[in-house]
Amino acid sequence: MFLFKKKKEVIGIDIGSSSVKLIQLKDTKGSLELLNVGIAPLPPEAIVDNTLMDSAAIAEVIKKLIASFGIKIKDVACSISGNSVIIRKIVLPAMPQEELEDQISWEAEQYIPFDINDVNMDFQILSPDGNDPSKMNVLLVASKKDIINDYVAVFSEAGMHLSVVDVDSFAVQNAFEINHDYSTEDIIALVNIGASVMNINVIKDGVTLFTRDVQMGGNLYTEEIQKQLGLSGADAETRKLLAHELNDTALQNVILKVNETITNEIRRSLDFYNSTANEDRISAIFVSGGCSKVFKLVEKIVEKNDLPVNTINPFAKLKYSEKDFDPEYLEEIAPFMAVPVGLAIRRVGDK
């Protein structure tokens, strides 16, 4: 799924609100080889509410990452999420792909709360309607042009060219699908929890059944720790990361409370899916995102949903030499890398 596209090799660059992640893959004889992996922090106010506030700082971070690997390719795939994108599952009269391409703006108008001329739009025909063969389910993806233009400008400032714009939850889905074995009958909830946004995507056999972004993530812990324990933002962030090791009950209690909030939100979304779907119930949850490392969060997700919960390993089936990449390091950063791995695949084959 992309908002616009071009068939060429790309570098996957995920501009998250806490850091920029970079992945370069190479397609060698049908398998994917890991060429470069990078992660670099962003200043705290560089991205606020999904808006690129400090594009100069973001461009600088991207430029340095690219230079540090000596990457020559200029084309980039990035993704957007949260308030920047509207994703709707809609029901339309059954029609061929080409016909829908001509009609999508007109059909989509009623679902988009902006002037249709101000948005980039893409769609994916999901399936015929189970109850009425004259209808089909379509996934509609739209984003405001000025938001996309901000990304185009930031990459251009970094000396790169934005060629593919994807959506975080679909990038996670791609990373999951190439790395994990699953049955076509399985219904899997992918939950990517970053610093400011949580992307939830329920899939079956490569198709999205339900997707939702919640403006909530790791920052919520940091803010609560800061407030409750009277610490600076930086100290609160550090203590959050160390909560496993520190024997600090006050700190752990604040975290456990936020775990409750986050897992309630996940449970609410999954309940909503389960109550509206014609399909079977969710059989497993796969988490990703830096926030999935939070003290006892995964345990809480298991407890709340009574489902198996695994962490996505976006490197599981990639080829790499242990001389070039320390497996322990890859394991450590794996949760952060689901989105950029999903983006880096983009050059292999367009949908």
Ligand X SMILES: Nc1ncnc2c1ncn2[C@@H]1O[C@H](COP(=O)(O)OP(=O)(O)OP(=O)(O)O)[C@@H](O)[C@H]1O
Nearer to Mg ion, 12 or 16 (CB): 16
Question: Which one, 196 or 313, has the nearer CB to ligand X?
Answer: 196
Q: Of the two residues 16 and 38, which places its CB atom closer to Mg ion in the complex?
A: 16
Q: What is the largest CA-CA distance in the chain?
A: 62
Angle between helices 218-229 and 233-241 (to 10 degrees): 120
- Do 199 and 169 contact (CB within 8 A), yes or no? yes
Residue 194 makes contact with Mg ion by CB under 5 A:
yes
Q: Which is nearer to ligand X, 122 or 213 (CB)?
A: 213
Asked if residue 16 binds ligand X (CB under 6 A), the reply is yes
Pick what 217 binds: ligand X, Mg ion, none; C-beta below 5 to 8 Å, kind-dependent: ligand X
Would you say 163 or 169 has its CB closer to ligand X?
169
**184: exposed, middle or buried (C-beta count within 10 Å: 0-12, 13-18, 19+)?**
exposed
| Candidates 121-129, 228-236, 262-270, 289-297; binding stretch for ligand X (CB under 6 A) | 289-297
Candidate segments 11-19, 88-96, 105-113, 142-150, binder of ligand X by CB under 6 A: 11-19
Does 197 help bind ligand X (rule: CB under 6 A)? Answer: yes
- The runs of H, that is alpha helices, within the chain are 55-69, 97-108, 145-157, 168-179, 218-229, 233-241, 249-276, 297-305, 327-333, 338-344
Could you please report the per-residue DSSP string of 9-30?
A: --EEEEE-SSEEEEEEEEEETT
| Binding test (CB under 6 A) with ligand X, winner from 217, 314, 340, 342 | 217
Report CA-CA distances (Å) from 346 to 36, 236, 266, 276, 331: 15, 37, 28, 32, 23
Please tell me whether residue 176 binds ligand X under the rule CB under 6 A: no
Q: Is 254 exposed, middle or buried (0-12, 13-18, 19+ CB in 10 A)?
A: buried
336 binds ligand X (CB under 6 A): yes
Residues 6+ apart with CB under 8 A from 70: none
Binding ligand X (rule: CB under 6 A), the pick from 196, 208, 226, 263 is: 196
Taking the least distance from each CB to ligand X, the nearer of 91 and 246 is 246
Q: How many residues bind Mg ion (CB under 5 A)?
A: 2
Stretch that binds ligand X, among 16-24, 174-182, 264-272, 299-307 (CB under 6 A): 16-24
Binding site for ligand X (CB under 6 A): 16-19, 194-197, 217-219, 237, 240-241, 289-291, 293-294, 336
